[in-house]
């Protein structure tokens, strides 16, 4: 849900999270097959591989394109 919020609903998050994830299309100056995916930065430690930034990219990029495009995030706090 956090990754979907960062991708689709940045305005609802605090400013610190507005650039938390980066699209591949903003990294490369040319078209790639993964241009719509999240850019996965290299990590040198297992701690980095367990981070939300790293795992979020892996999980998000593993979703089917239809789920990546039209995800709506609603949090039911009334229940």
> Structure pTM?
0.69
* Overall domain count for the chain: 1
- Domain residues for 38? 2-69
79 CB burial (10 A radius; 0-12, 13-18, 19+): exposed
Could you tell me if residue 8 is inside a domain?
A: yes
Structure confidence at residue 39 as a pLDDT band (50, 70, 90): confident
| CA 20 to the chain's CA centroid | 8
Could you tell me if residue 21 is inside a domain?
A: yes
Could you tell me if residue 53 is inside a domain?
A: yes
Structure confidence at residue 79 as a pLDDT band (50, 70, 90): very low
Could you tell me if residue 77 is inside a domain?
A: no
In this model, does residue 61 exceed pLDDT 70? Answer: yes
Could you tell me if residue 57 is inside a domain?
A: yes
């Amino acid at each position: 849900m956090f990754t979907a919020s960062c991708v689709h609903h940045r305005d609802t998050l605090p400013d610190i999270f507005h650039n938390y994830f980066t699209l591949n299309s903003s990294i490369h100056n040319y078209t790639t097959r993964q241009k719509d995916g999240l850019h996965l930065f290299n990590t040198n430690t297992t701690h980095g591989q367990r981070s939300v930034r790293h795992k979020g990219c892996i999980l998000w990029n593993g979703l089917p394109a239809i789920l990546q495009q039209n995800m709506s995030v609603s949090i039911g706090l009334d229940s």
